[in-house]
Chains A and B, each alone.
Chain A
Amino acid sequence: MPIIQVDSVTKTFRLYKKDPGLLGSIKSLIYRKYSEFKVVSDISFSIEEGELIGFIGPNGAGKTTTLKMLSGLIAPSAGSVRVAGYTPFDRKPDFLRKISLMMGQKNQLWWDLPPMESFLLNKEIYGVPDKQYKVVLDELVSLMGIQDIIHVQVRNLSLGQRMKCELIAQLLHSPRILFLDEPTIGLDVVMQKKLRDFIWQYNKKYHATIILTSHYMDDVKELCKRVVVIDHGIILFDGLLDEVIKRYSNAKLLSIIFSGSIPPIHELSMMGTVLSHDENQIKLEVARGKSNEVASHILKQYTVADLNIEEPPIEEIIRSLFSRNKQSHVSR
């Protein structure tokens, strides 16, 4: 049985539209125009316990709104959401003890006190027994490698250190479900990697269900087998990350290093699209079905030092998926 079940969920916000200028302001004193804005439109999906899935989408796609509905912050306008057997918006204490929501760069730690005091507050609020608290805290602190900073004032910590402490504060009650909204935002690449490793280990060790939204494709590529691609409040794709590539990329990339200088470009252009080239290297995009044929032709015709057939970068595929969706929205 899925731990998260979302059926035909729609979320609509009522927004006030003001006419421009002073006249618009005066008019708004008497009459205000409101319009309905659908942020999420009839989405359905389910998630099994222990899954780590990525929510991908551009700004305003509906990712965070979906997370807010799953964590009980806002109620759906239509449809039903069930998380761990609860209706999230009821915000029953038992439900809240099972989940955790972390929003990138949002601080819940006390700014002027060491993180340890915020950890203790969460311990009391979540009713974590002393023994369990000690075990979990020790484990999380050592996993994160922050033994030396938990007694330092939060205001004196770097962003990366704060994010680690934030994550620990969110995990002290051992939630079964984690909603991570842009957890690596603003972090340098080293810290991003460390946080990703931690999330991965937490998922494996505790069999926790994790939903992650991120603008960094590296987060999704490294952590999530399954992705939900969302744009304009509509789910464009829900499945394995590898499937996105197969389904939405009609091309493959040939990276070729020639022994001497590259052959005339117009000859290669007849086989595919030349993406880049220099003295002896070329990147050629060819139709997915013809990649083997083109590769063998090149190997026969030219003196090749190295040839690789690669999938296009996932970022490119997702970007083209979004732009396709955008065009279809415009034409509608």
Chain B
Amino acid sequence: MFLVKIIALHFQQIFHHRLRSFIWFLIPLMNTLTLILFWSGALKNTSLSANWNMTSVTTYYFLLTIAGAMLTSHIEDDVAQIDIQQGELVRYLIRPFPYFWIKFIEELPYRVLQGSYGILLLVFFVTFLKLSIMITAQPTVILLTILMAIFAFSISFLIKMNMGLSAFWFTERHGFFETVTIVSIIFSGGIVPIHLLPPLVQKISYTLPFAYIAYYPIISLQGQLAITQIYYILSIQLLWIGILFGLNRLLWFRGINKFTALGQ
């Protein structure tokens, strides 16, 4: 119960910044609209396959915007710069609540709010602009996709948290963060759906965790995965969560010994 209260209190803080949050949501939306425009030209008189036509491509990019807003965590700079390098970690360390979970709770309302903007926008486009989209109607698939989305957020959160914790050792982090961001955009299906990429890039995507953050939850909701495939993806997601969480604990316990609470 107390967790619900803590989360609710954090929602209050986020609602105060609803407009700023909306602007942050609009930036990736512009990229999405550009990509849809590109594909509408490319697929004017043709289809990629039986399953991939303009409707499925449009749906993919709209869902990608929602997934980017709702499932992709952006805490790495907060953790690295504000908490570790500027020493704000102090105020978390003196409280009887784990840093990992309080950061998780802090991040959750942002994702919910941004994801809500995406859903509202999708409803607006479908209702008023008669946008044609393709989403599965199978309740089991929808429920499993929600579970997949929760796992996806957890993977994203863990990756970003671990990146942030690298600041215990490195003062210059921007190059590293930017590299990971670029790699994650490509291999999570952020530019082109992964199955449309060259076979080698597809193979790399499947061995990295990024595809499990956006690509799979999207195509699952589009009804492009069989139930057995969904279970397989869920198990791979759990495996990644386990690996990343183990790494997180290792980084935290090693790093906290190096923390000097500088500037505090």
Contact = CB atoms under 8 A, between A and B. Distances in A.
B196 interface: no
B96 A97 contact: yes
Interface residues of A, number: 30
B174 interface: no
Contacts of B5: 120, 124
Interface string B221-264: 00000000000000000000000000000000000010111001
Interface stretch (B6-14, B74-82, B203-211): B6-14
Given A121-B6, A125-B96, A127-B2, A73 B90 contact: yes
A313 B172 CA distance: 48
A106 B88 CA distance: 9
Contacts of A74: 259-261
A112 interface: yes
Nearest to B4: A124
Interface residues of B, number: 20
Contact of A125 (B16, B97, B259): B97
B96 A93 contact: yes
Contacts of A71: 94
Contact of A117 (B9, B93, B259): B9
Contact of A124 (B2, B13, B259, B260): B2
B91 A121 contact: no
Contacts of A73: 90, 93-94, 259, 261, 264
A4 interface: no
Contacts of A257: none
Contact of B93 (A72, A100, A110, A125): A72
B94 A99 contact: yes
B13 A112 contact: yes
Interface in A91-142: 91, 93-94, 96-97, 99-101, 103, 106, 108, 110, 112-113, 117, 120-122, 124-127
A124 to B, nearest CB: 5
Nearest to B91: A108
A125 B257 CA distance: 24
A106 B263 CA distance: 10
Nearest to B87: A106
B17 interface: yes
Interface string A186-204: 0000000000000000000
Q: Which of B6, B9, B96, B260 has the most CB of A within 10 A?
A: B96
B130 interface: no
A253 B14 CA distance: 61
A75 interface: yes
Question: Which 4 interchain pairs have the tightest Cβ spacing?
Answer: A93-B96, A96-B96, A112-B16, A108-B91
Given A96-B95, A121-B6, A124-B6, 6 more contacts: A71-B94, A73-B259, A93-B97, A106-B264, A113-B13, A127-B2
19 contacts: A13-B260, A64-B264, A72-B93, A73-B93, A73-B264, A74-B259, A91-B93, A101-B94, A106-B91, A106-B264, A110-B13, A112-B16, A117-B9, A117-B13, A121-B9, A124-B2, A126-B95, A126-B96, A127-B96
Interface of A: 13, 64, 68, 71-75, 91, 93-94, 96-97, 99-101, 103, 106, 108, 110, 112-113, 117, 120-122, 124-127
